[in-house]
Structure formats: C-alpha cells, structure tokens
Structure 1
Amino acid sequence: MQAFLPPLALLLERLFGYPPALLGAVRHPVIWMGTLISLLEARLNRGDNRRAKGLLMLALLLALTAAVTVAIAAALRLAPFGWVLEAILATTLLAQKELGRAVGAVADALSQSLAAGRRQVSQIVGRDPEQLDEAGVARAAIESLAESASDGVIAPLFWLVLGGLPGIALYKAINTADSMVGHRDARYAEFGWASARADDIVNWIPARLTALLLAGASFWVKGADAEQAWSTALRDGSKHASPNAGWPEAALAGALGFSLGGPRAYAGEVHDLPEFGSGRRDLGPADIRKSLELYRMMLNLALGLTLAIAVLLFR
C-alpha cells in the first residue's frame, strides 16, 4: 500500500491544504527549516571559506532533516495504516491548494481595481507592484503560478514518489535553503552557492516534467494548445537565467497563447529578462483564471499518473 502514499497525499492536500489552526498551533515544517537555516547562517556566514561553510550548513540541514523523517517514516511503517499517516504528513510539504488560492485572489482583486490587484500580487511576487499596470499584474500572477507549479507541487511530488516522506522533506529543505541564501548578492554569493546548485539539480527533472504535464493538460482545456505548449518550452525554456524556471513558464505561455517574462522592476531597478512565448502580453483577470484552469487540469493529470503508478506497483 506504500505505493498509494503519493496520490493520497496529493488528493488530501488539494482538498484541505494546511489547516490555519495547525499553522497557528505548531507553525509549518518549512518555517522550522527556515529557523534552522537562519541559525546556521548567522553562525557560519562570516570570515573566509564561505563557500565551504555554506556547504557545511546545507549538509547539517539535510542530515537533521533525514534523521527526523527517516525515523518517523520507519515508525509509521510498523503501524497499521501507517502509510496513511505518512501521506498526511507529506501533505504539509505540497502547496497546490494555497497556490491556487493565492493566484485566484489576484484575479479577484484585479477585477475590482488596479490598486487592489497590485496589493494582492505583492503577496506572491517580489517585483515592485507600483510599476505594474493591469497587464503587468496579470503576467506576474501567471508567471508565479507557472514557476510555483513546478517547485511547489510537481517537484515535491516527484521526490515523494521516489523517496516517501524523507524524499519530499529533503527536497523542501534544499528548496528552502535556496530561497533564503541562494542569492547572488555580496552576502550570499559564496555562502549560498551549494544551496543554489543543489536546488538546480533536484529541480532539473521536475521542471521539465511540469512543462510536459502542462502540455498534456492542454488537451483537456478549451482553447489551449498542447503542441504549442511543448514546442515553446523546447524553444524558450532555456532562456531563463535559472536552468529550470523557464520551462513551466514557457509551456504555460505557449499553451494559452501568451507572452510572459520581459523587463521587471525589483527594488527600483529594472531587470531586462527574456520573454517566453510569442503571444499576447495585454493580459487581465480572465487570463489569470484561464491559467488556473490549465493548472487544475495539470493537477488532475498528475493525480491520475501517480494513481496509475501505484496500481501498477501494487499489482
């Protein structure tokens, strides 16, 4: 029955997400990881040999994560229906429900006013909201949806399938470390090198799998083009500075006939980023909702595939 852990976790998280009461009571596993990273960074990110110290931080983080989750998984597998409890724990490291809610909230706010849309999109992207017009807000939300569909849903699911609870937890630890210290500024360029490289490695297959799933989902979404989704991913996916982030963004752009990416403003500085897709850039709330429709169909496809894998392994 262990094979049914991933589809069960995916289904439960999509239905229930992470309960707010639980967040208030014990916080979230990613917050625990972030606290440990902050403590280690404060102690280690100083003096010489910062690249080696960053590698040590990552090793300590992964060792503790592995020790805790392997022990929990081993104990649960001795209990009746322990795989169900393991699936419930794994739901805390998936983000499909919250991602859909957050992006949908941008569509709803933008339908009310540009100011409301700017406020809402600032909750999910780091770019300067005051520099965004309506189309800019819509593109920011859709780009965030595409990228997070990979590193917030498909990548953790991929590592859950391969490694159970320890697999998804180790992925999330690497991803959290990269988000906190994997930057190219003076403070983190050396210290965060190991975290950034590890994140590139663990997301390499999932990013391309996400693009493929978006292309597959396009067959069941009216107006979406599966062939354009995949051909755009192949053409534009490698344009991004990240070896992975461009793939799902290009696939979604191609599927729905959008042009995403392009210049973005962060902290008052404009960054000239590549464009993905060659379609419309004048997007609005309806386009965000269409992107969410494709995203939800992608989730259906992912659930079906994990369930099919479970049935084959069970037999």
Structure 2
Amino acid sequence: MPALLALAAMLVEGIAGYPDGLFRRVGHPVVWIGRPISTLERRWNRGSPRRRRLGGVAMIAVLTAVAGGAGAGAGALLPGTLGLVVAACLGSSLIAQRSLAAHVRAVAVALETGGLAAGREAVSRIVGRDPEALDEAGVARAAVESLAENFSDGVVAPVAWMAVAGLGGAAAYKAINTADSMVGHRSPRFQAFGWAAARLDDLVNLPASRLASVLLVAAAALVPGASPAGAARAIGRDARRHRSPNAGWPEAAMAGALGFALAGPRHYGGVLVEDAVMGAGGRRELGPADIRRALRLYWVADALLAAGLAGVVIATG
C-alpha cells in the first residue's frame, strides 16, 4: 500500500535521517540524479534556442522515465514486510524533513554563537541569494523562507507522490525537482534548456504547495502564540502574488501564522529581484528565536502530515 510506504519512509527519515557514513560510502539520490543531468546538459544544451528547448524536453523525459522505473523496480524488489522495510529505507532518502530542520536550526545556532558572519555562512548552504547582502534580520528571514518552501517541495511533495504512486512516483518527482534546481534558471545558459524542467516542477509541486499551506494553518492552531486565522488570511491575500506559483503558499502560511513579513525584494547574483511580501504588515526584524518558532510550527505540521497518512492507512487497510 503506497500510503503505508510513505508513512514508514517518513518515520525512518524522521528518526535516522540520512546517515553521514552512508553518504560518504554511496552518496545520495540527489547526487546520483545530478550526474546524468550534468552529462545530458553538456551534450544537449547546444545550438539554437529551439534546439536547446527540445534538448531540455528530451532530458527531463529520459530522466523521469529512468528514475521512476528504477524506483518502481526497487520498490518491488522484495515481497511482504521485508520488502516494505527495504522500500521505506530507500524512500526515506527522498524525504528531507530531518535534514531540512537541521540546516535551518544551524542558522539560528550560528547567529547566536558566531554573529552575522557565521549566520551568513550557514544560510548560504540553504538559499541561493547573496548572503553578503543580508543583515541579521535578512539571514533569519531567509532561513524561515527556506524552511517554508522546502517543507513543501522537500517533504510534502515526495511524501504525497509516494503515497499516490509508490517509490517510483517519489523517485520521478525527485528527479524533476533536482533538474529544476540545476537547470531551471532564467539565465542565458538555461533559459531555453531548463524550460521543461522548470514548468514540470511547477506542475508536480502545485498540489503539495497547497497541502503544505493547509498543514501549516492546522499546525498554527496547535502551537501556542501562532495564529491559524492569520495564516489563512495571508494565504488568501498574498500567496498568488509571489513570483513562484507554489512557494508563496507555504511562505504566506508561515508568515501569517507567526506574524512575520517574508519574501519581498531580494538579491540573487548581484541582481535585485522584486517580489511581493508574504504576510504583509507583519514583522520583518527577525532573529534566532523566530527561526526556532518557525521550526516548532514546521514539526507540528510535519506530524500532522504523518497523522493524515496514518488515517489513510487505517481507513483503507
């Protein structure tokens, strides 16, 4: 049952994460997926814009088919309980709930113990914007924004696709998401080639971003000091104004729930990129304590996702 697999994979990743020793020995699925993306990009991202776009379409088609097929094959490798355990361990590598929280918490710790320079270094590991352009409040906002967005595409989306389409569905999703992160940029090199990866990533993340925002609203009802009504208002007012069709939903929910003002203009590669504020009217002067508040909301929303899967398993089992 795919829902049981998704729940088991969440539990494995939540407890054990992705062990460092395993990463050193065999790498990580994102690294494995990244290698053929780099190879195909070098070979097929050539010629006219039309040829580059067709090369990008072919790359994402091949990548999705291979990753999905490999995931489906691995998921069917062993029968019964042993097969579920193996599949759950494999599936856990496609979910980032524990590692996401660790990276975001590291930003709070860095600000608390090492000041702004340490905070900039820590946040540069999880966001693509220019860290040198950030003051302490900007570092804290970047960490909270990354937490909200990656709750959607690093946790909810792979879990949802696993619950719907098994290990193969989650592997195909991760391939699409990795391709978007590598080539889905609006730069001269990737404008045409990365078009298919970016558009497909928007599509496959659309349901998860809405679900993530609902989970954050529900979590706000359970976290002292958070406001589910504020989260719902921010979603309705701000989410569709974000430059991303998906990121605005969890960012607005997080901002409204905690009384923050997130997003807005940001620097990427030395260029100021205009964007709408999520949680308009909220507080922009954030610090390490606010990152920790956001993490509490995140973990409650994550637990609600697991509880929902458990309910599906019970209802259909």
TM-score normalised according to structure 1 size: 0.97
Deviation at 1:80, TM superposition (A): 4.6
Q: Secondary structure at the match of 2:186?
A: coil
CA distance in 1, matches of 2:249, 2:177: 17
Per-residue displacement from partner, 1:118-157 (whole Å, max 9, x unpaired)?
1111111121212211111110110111101100000111
Deviation at 1:79, TM superposition (A): 4.9
Moved over 3 A (4+): none
Q: Secondary structure at the match of 1:281?
A: coil
Task: Name the counterpart of 1:117.
Answer: 119
Deviation at 1:111, TM superposition (A): 1.1
CA distance in 2, matches of 1:290, 1:170: 33
Q: Does 1:14 align with 2:17?
A: no
Q: Sequence identity of aligned pairs in percent? A: 51
Which of 178, 185, 189 matches 2:191? 189
Q: Does 1:162 align with 2:164?
A: yes
CA distance in 2, matches of 1:205, 1:191: 25
Task: Name the counterpart of 2:149.
Answer: 147
Determine if contact 1:2/1:83 at 8 Å carries over to the other structure: no
Task: Name the counterpart of 2:84.
Answer: 83
Q: Does 1:101 align with 2:102?
A: yes
Task: Name the counterpart of 1:311.
Answer: 314
- With 140-149 and 127-136 compared, the bigger mean Cα shift is at 127-136
Which of 171, 176, 189 matches 2:178? 176
- With 280-289 and 110-119 compared, the bigger mean Cα shift is at 110-119
CA distance in 2, matches of 1:297, 1:311: 21
Determine if contact 2:73/2:168 at 8 Å carries over to the other structure: no
Which of 246, 249, 252 matches 1:247? 249
CA distance in 1, matches of 2:137, 2:4: 42
CA distance in 2, matches of 1:307, 1:274: 37
CA distance in 2, matches of 1:266, 1:177: 19
CA distance in 2, matches of 1:164, 1:85: 13
TM-score normalised according to structure 2 size: 0.96
Per-residue displacement from partner, 1:28-65 (whole Å, max 9, x unpaired)?
01101000101111110001321111100111111211
Determine if contact 2:13/2:95 at 8 Å carries over to the other structure: yes
Task: Name the counterpart of 2:277.
Answer: 275
Deviation at 1:75, TM superposition (A): 2.2
Q: Which amino acid is the alignment partner of residue 150 of structure 2?
A: S
Closer/same/farther in 2, CA of residues 192 and 229 from structure 1, 3 Å limit: same
Q: Which amino acid is the alignment partner of residue 208 of structure 2?
A: P
CA distance in 1, matches of 2:59, 2:272: 32
- With 217-226 and 79-88 compared, the bigger mean Cα shift is at 79-88
Q: Secondary structure at the match of 1:12?
A: helix
Number of residue-to-residue matches in the alignment: 313
Deviation at 1:262, TM superposition (A): 1.4
Q: Secondary structure at the match of 1:93?
A: coil
Task: Name the counterpart of 1:37.
Answer: 37
Task: Name the counterpart of 1:25.
Answer: 25
- With 197-206 and 269-278 compared, the bigger mean Cα shift is at 269-278
Per-residue displacement from partner, 1:65-89 (whole Å, max 9, x unpaired)?
122222222222x355311211111
Task: Name the counterpart of 1:4.
Answer: 4
C-alpha RMSD of the superposition: 1.1
Q: Secondary structure at the match of 1:197?
A: helix
CA distance in 2, matches of 1:127, 1:2: 37
